[in-house]
Structure 1
Amino acid sequence: MTAPSSNPLLSDRDVDFQLYEVLDTESLCQLPAFADHSRETFTLFLDSTRRFARDVLFPTYRLMDLEPPVFRDGRVHVHPLMRKLYPQLVELGLLTAIVPAEAGGQQLPITVYSLASAYLMAANLSAYGFVGLTSGAAHLIEAFGSPWLKEEFMSRMHRGEWTGTMALTEPQAGSSLADVRTRATPAEDGTYRITGSKIFISGGDQDFTDNVVHLTLARIDGAPAGTRGLSLFAVPARRPENGRLVDNDVRVAGVIHKIGWKGIPSIALNYGEGGDCRGWLVGEAGKGLSHMFQMMNEARIMVGLNGVSTASVAYHEALAYAQNRPQGRPAWEKDAARPQRPIIEHADVRRMLLRQKAIVEGGLSLLAIASFQADVAAHGKTQEERQRAGLLLDLLTPLAKTFPAEKGFEANALAVQVHGGYGYSSEYLPEAYLRDQKLNSIHEGTTGIQGLDLLGRKVMAAGGAALQAFAEEVSATVERARRADVPSEWGEALSKAMQEVLELTMELGAAGMAGEVERMLRHSAHYMELFSILAVSWRWLAQAAAAREGLARGSEGRDFYEGKLSAAQYWIHTELPRVSTLVALCRTGEDSYTRMRPEWF
């Protein structure tokens, strides 16, 4: 018996549904920034990306998972397939898809690019990772770099000649960026001599392009301790000098042996062992972390998309397996001579598949609305519109990163379960996706850090304006669902949960203002969980409304719309009630693990 060979990665019908029925992505074309685009240009980009993901990229996934990069002769050697794949990814226009037209880009909306890139992530997340990291690093130089850096570094990254990374983490600091020790000493030539070490640098070395540019956080000599003393530098592995590339004293100290994401190396780097590592300041001195947050926030959205994509490709594997694997008979069927039935006819298998569908399509809808807000925040017609969208984007970003990672891991585990014993074997793909998925809850800030960010900063931003804007969006969706004749109790349940979260947030905020910060943040992880459930319930109610509207129009695809309504019913009936339980837990201030002393373990 062999595993199914065909996998759509994501449902094209669902992607189009999210773009044009749940959201009105075509309305972005009314903004001056996207006036040259239309649904037709969006479709061309989506279709080319889909074809490449399915026909070219997906067949390489298993090969790259089985043969991870190796460290040899001081260099990292990735899978030979990347020599062919990377130029093809560049030719698709991925590095410049959302770059402004004046900088040579296509200036596509992030909303369209995000959902298109999800196909590539589902096909081979490691191969796409080189693109995503390079695009983010180039965007930082575009936003804050000097004209010289844009010409010498950014343009080569956009052309696919060089790749880029984000180099923040250090062995002794981990996620605590205030403890970064990498030093930057001003030199007479206007550059800085960089010394220090970085670790867990994804894509930090490879052998398929001429160079790698590390966007690096470092502390200029004399700068204050903490995050205020950090500056941002572009540090190439090989620096341009007299028209050629020369060694820049950036050394690979080793490659991390990972359980997943095996196609892209994660490495340790040493800067300036020979005293001649040169870096170029990007933006203002002392503003490194605020500059870097641009790439970090983009990366959090990318991690969320990876989470959705990894859950999606595994879901489609499980769905195909369940449709084609005969085993057993209904419990009420006593005639053993009758043929076995496909396992999808067993209710518990449908339960597992429906939960995967609810997680995947709810998560994708959350990423789509976050991306839509990013487009409006950057290009909305009025300052008020841009500011409101920016607040919503900031609020949604930790949710959009965390929910797909945490619940995506659960969805991937269910995909293994649907396969039964075969799922626990390396002959089938779900075990590999389960390994890949786990990293998404660690990448770009652990779930615990995202919870602290959400509760400690985002819901309190601008005096609660972000949370108020979110509540207004929920109310608008409840009204849309009412007009579409969605069962009224669904909207009522969402409104009730929204009110509970508003009241809890006010109580926790008051505790923080009274100096009880530990009390406020004690259950930040649970707050993240309840807010994620609330946000995805909001997105499922929006999908239910769009599905009812589609049925009322008599649109083709009744089965698709009915499936949406069943998934919405499942999520709102089985997950949304958990908000009340989690609200009560946060409100009581239950202190078992904060009271627990290290020696008691």
Structure 2
Amino acid sequence: MTAPASNPLLSDRDVDFQLYEVLDTEALCQLPAFADHSRETFTLFLDSTRRFARDVLLPTYRLMDNEPPSFRDGRVHVHPLMRKLYPQLVELGLLSATHPVEAGGQQLPITVYSLASAYLMAANLSAYGFIGLTSGAAHLIQAFGSPWLKDEFMARMYRGEWTGTMALTEPQAGSSLADVKTRATPAGDGTYRITGSKIFISGGDQDFTENVVHLTLARIEGAPAGTRGLSLFAVPARRPEGGRLVDNDVRVAGAIHKIGWKGLPSLALNYGEGGDCRGWLVGEAGKGLAHMFQMMNEARIMVGLNGVATASVAYHEALAYAQNRPQGRPAWEKDAARPQRPIIEHADVRRMLLRQKAIVEGGLSLLAAASWQADVAVHGKTEEERRRAGLLLDLLTPLAKTFPAEKGFEANALAVQVHGGYGYSSEYLPEAYLRDQKLNSIHEGTTGIQGLDLLGRKVMAAGGEAMRAFTEEVGATVERARKAGVEPAWGEALNRAQQEVVELTMELGAAGMAGEVERMLRHSADYMELFSVLAVSWRWLAQAAAAREGLARGGESRDFYEGKLAAAQYWLNTELPRVTHLVALCRSGEDSYTRMKPEWF
């Protein structure tokens, strides 16, 4: 057997469906920020990105996965292909595509950029990772940096001359940012002397641009303990001095050997071993974590898109394999002399493919909805529109990061299963995609952290206003589905599940307000699961409504729309009922794992 010759990465028809039938992305052009755009300009950007992803990036994936970066002579050497790929990625306009024209950007809606970038992630997520990190770091400087930092650092990053990272994690602290120990001491010249260590810094060094800027959390001498004492600094590997770049005493202490994302180095860094590492304050002292959340939340959406993209490319690989791999015959066909049938004709293979489709396209729809709210949160016409969209974006972000990572891993495992023995062989790509996917549940806050954030902060935000806005969105979708002629039971089931979740949330919130915080958060992982199922059910009902509307219009897309309705039926009939069980579990206070003592293991 040979692997499929090509892979579409994502379905173009589905991406257009999400943008223009499920959502009305053209309506964003009515906002002043996007007035110069139209569906035509969106299509130009999408088409150029799709072509580059398929024709240029995809062929490099295997090579970069097989030859990860090496650390020698104190420097990281990435795959030589990056010297050609990075300038081409920059030339596509990816670094500043969503940023204002005055910052060198195209001022594209995030909704369009997100779905376009998913093609690049599906093709070679490591190569795209340098772009995503650099864009996020430059955007931090754009939002909070001084004019000098914008001219000296941000401009070079947006031009692709320098790359950027986010440097939060430390060996002794892990995800506990309150325990960050990196120190910043005023140097008397407007800079700070930085000393400390960071670990798991993606893209922390490379040899295809002249510099890397680390957006670093550190504690100014005398600052209070905890997250309130953290400030944000731009710390370049080489600092500008006298019109040239000089070494800035940032040392690579070691490289992390990873199971996936192998083309993007993950490093341990030491600052100030020689006492001469300088950093520039970004924004206000003591507001470092608040500033960094801008990049962290952007990165969480990026990780969610990576989850969808990695599940999608594997799904299309499995679909093509199932369509072309002859094996066996239907159970009722006894004549062994008859030709073998493609395995897609076996019901269990279709079950596995349909589950992958439901996860991939449900996840993509969730990311598109979150991106839409991101556009309105910044560019909405009224303060109330912007505020409501911001609350919805905050609520959807942990879901949009977690669902594609966790369920995407399941989808990737199914892609391996469809391939059978070929699936776990390195001659075929699904095993590599499975390795890549696992990192997404850990990147940018583990699933456990996201669950605590969702239940402990996001659904309770503004006195429950975010939750009320979400229920309004669900209600509008149920009404749209009713008018479109979608099976009424689907909308009724979604309404019931939503009401169960609202009531549970109120109960858990009351427990937290009464001081029973452990009781409130005991089942935060289960709460994340049930809310993810609910949110993706909402998106599948929206897709079912759009599919019914499409069928009513007629045309040549009947098979596409029928496939959407089958996937919606699958998700709403097999996954949505799980919400009731998970609600009961959260409500019960079942305490097996919190009662379990360390010594009992």
Give your verdict on TM over 0.5.
yes
* 1:440-485 Cα shifts (integer Å, max 9, x gaps): 0000000000000000000000000000000000000000000000
In structure 2, C-alpha distance between the alignment counterparts of 1:188 and 1:457, rounded to whole Å: 39
Q: Partners of 1:437 and 1:33 in 2: how far apart?
A: 35
**Cα deviations across residues 487-522 of structure 1 (Å, max 9, x unaligned)?**
000000000000000000000000000000000000
Deviation digits for residues 406-461 of structure 1 (CA, Å, limit 9, x no counterpart): 00000000000000000010000000000000000000000000000000000000
Could you tell me how far apart the structure 1 residues matched to 2:84 and 2:128 are?
13
1:473 and 1:110 map into 2 onto residues whose CA distance is 20
Q: Distance in 2 between matches of 1:134 and 1:6?
A: 30
Separation of aligned partners in 2, 1:84 and 1:470: 44
* 1:349 and 2:349 correspond: yes
CA–CA distance in 2 between the matches of 1:279 and 1:102? 26
Instruction: For residues 52-75 of structure 1, give each alpha carbon's deviation from its aligned partner in whole angstroms, at most 9, with x where no partner exists.
Output: 000000000000000000001000
1:505 and 1:105 map into 2 onto residues whose CA distance is: 41
User: For 1:64-89, what per-residue CA distance to the aligned partner results, in whole angstroms no more than 9, with x for missing partners?
Assistant: 00000000100000000000000000
Secondary structure of the structure 1 residue equivalent to 2:196: strand
Give the match's secondary structure for 2:95.
helix
**2:296 maps to which residue?**
296
**SS across alignment from 1:495:** helix
Percent identity, aligned pairs only?
91
Supply the distance in 2 between the matched residues of 1:460 and 1:82 (Cα, whole angstroms): 44
Q: Secondary structure at the match of 1:327?
A: coil
- Give deviations 1:196-225, integer Å, cap 9, x for gaps: 000000000000000000000000000000
d(CA) in 2 for partners of 1:147, 1:503:
49
What per-residue deviation string (whole Å, max 9, x for no partner) do you get for residues 315-342 of structure 1? 0000000000000000000000000000
Task: Report the 3-state secondary structure (helix = DSSP H, G, I; strand = E; otherwise coil) of the residue aligned with 2:423.
Answer: helix
Provide the C-alpha distance between the structure 2 equivalents of 1:53 and 1:101, rounded to a whole number of angstroms.
Answer: 25
Instruction: Give the aligned partner of residue 240 of structure 1.
Output: 240
State how far apart, in whole Å, the 1-side matches of 2:145 and 2:476 are: 41
Q: Secondary structure at the match of 1:556?
A: coil
1:325 aligns with 2:336: no
Map Cα deviations across residues 325-374 of structure 1 (whole Å, 9 max, x no partner). 00000000000000000000000000000000000000000000000000
What's the counterpart of residue 367 of structure 2?
367
1: CA distance, partners of 2:30 / 2:462? 29
Partner Cα distance (2:424, 2:42) in 1: 39
State the shift of 1:556 in Å.
2.3
SS in 2 for 1:150: helix
Cα distance in 1 for residues equivalent to 2:5 and 2:77: 29
Counterparts of 1:105 and 1:10 in 2: how far apart (Å)? 25
- How far apart, in 2, do the equivalents of 1:289 and 1:5 lie? 46
What secondary structure sits across from 1:224 in the alignment?
A: coil
Aligned equivalents of 2:63, 2:187: Cα separation in 1: 46
1:369-408 superposed Cα distances (whole Å, 9 cap, x missing partner)? 0000000000000000000000000000000000000000
CA distance in 1 between counterparts of 2:526 and 2:515 reads 21
Q: Secondary structure at the match of 1:267?
A: strand
Report deviation, 1:268: 0.1
Secondary structure at the counterpart of residue 560 of structure 2: helix
Residue 215 of structure 1 aligns to a residue whose secondary structure is strand
Distance 2:313 2:226 in 1: 41
What CA deviation, in whole Å up to 9, does each residue of 1:542-573 have, x standing for no partner?
Answer: 00000000000113210000000000000000
Cα offset, 1:148, TM superposition: 0.3
Alignment deviations for residues 278-323 of structure 1 (CA, whole Å, 9 cap, x no partner)? 0000000000000000000000000000000000000000000000
Q: How far apart in 2 are the matches of 1:115 and 1:166?
A: 23
SS in structure 1 at match of 2:214? strand
How far residue 103 of structure 1 moved from its aligned partner, in angstroms, is 1.2
2:205 aligned counterpart, secondary structure: coil
User: Cα offset for 1:188?
Assistant: 1.2
Give yes or no for the alignment of 1:42 onto 2:30: no
Distance across 2 between alignment mates of 1:591 and 1:5: 51
SS in 2 for 1:130: helix
Give the distance between the partners of 2:185 and 2:341, measured in 1 at CA.
70
SS in 1 for 2:279: strand
Tell me which residue corresponds to 1:431: 431
SS of 1:205's partner is coil
Residues in 1 aligned to 2:7 and 2:224: alpha-carbon distance in whole angstroms: 53
Q: Distance in 2 between matches of 1:207 and 1:579?
A: 49
CA deviations over 1:115-134 (Å, ceiling 9, x no partner) = 00000000000000000000
RMSD: 0.3
How far apart are the structure 2 equivalents of 1:556 and 1:19?
Answer: 19
C-alpha displacement of 1:540: 0.1
- How far apart, CA to CA, are the structure 2 residues paired with 1:509 and 1:549? 39
CA distance in 1, matches of 2:105, 2:364: 25
Alignment pair present for 1:399 and 2:392 = no
Residue 148 of structure 1 is matched in structure 2 by: 148
C-alpha distance in 2 between matches for 1:18 and 1:273:
51
* TM-fit CA distance, 1:102: 1.3
Greater mean deviation of Cα atoms: 96-105 or 162-171: 96-105
Cα distance between partner residues in 2 of 1:150 and 1:105: 14
Q: Find the aligned partners of 1:159 and 1:569 in 2 and give their Cα distance.
A: 47
Establish whether residue 127 from structure 1 lines up as the match of residue 148 from structure 2: no
Instruction: Give the secondary structure class of the aligned counterpart of 2:316.
Output: helix
> Alpha-carbon deviation of 1:96?
1.2
Matches within 5 A, 1:432-581: 432-581=432-581
Q: By how many angstroms is 1:99 displaced?
A: 1.1
Q: 1: CA distance between counterparts of 2:376 and 2:136?
A: 19
Structure 2 unaligned runs (5+)? Answer: none
Number of the residue aligned with 1:69: 69
TM-score, normalised with respect to structure 1 = 1.00
Query: Per-residue CA shift, 1:13-61, capped at 9, x if unaligned?
Result: 0000000000000000000000000000000000000000000000000
Specify the SS of the correspondent of 1:96.
Answer: coil
How far apart, CA to CA, are the structure 2 residues paired with 1:452 and 1:319?
Answer: 36
Shift, 1:104, TM fit = 1.4
Shift of 1:5: 1.7
SS at match of 2:169: coil
1:207 partner SS: coil
For 1:556 and 1:507, locate their aligned partners in 2 and report how far apart those are by CA, in whole Å.
49
Q: Distance in 2 between matches of 1:569 and 1:375?
A: 30
Unmatched 5+ stretches in structure 1: none
Q: Aligned pair 1:115/2:115, yes or no? A: yes
- Measured in 1, the distance between the counterparts of 2:303 and 2:360 equals 14
Q: Tell me how far apart the structure 1 counterparts of residues 482 and 563 of structure 2 sit (CA, whole Å).
A: 19
Q: What are the Cα deviations for residues 229-272 of structure 1, in whole angstroms up to 9, with x where unaligned?
A: 00000000000011110000000000000010000000000000
| 1:146-167 CA-partner distances (Å, limit 9, x unpaired) | 0000000000001100000000
- Partner residue of 1:164? 164
User: What secondary structure is seen at the aligned counterpart in 2 of 1:197?
Assistant: strand
Distance 2:451 2:306 in 1: 19
- Aligned residue for 2:94? 94
For normalisation by structure 2, the TM-score amounts to 1.00
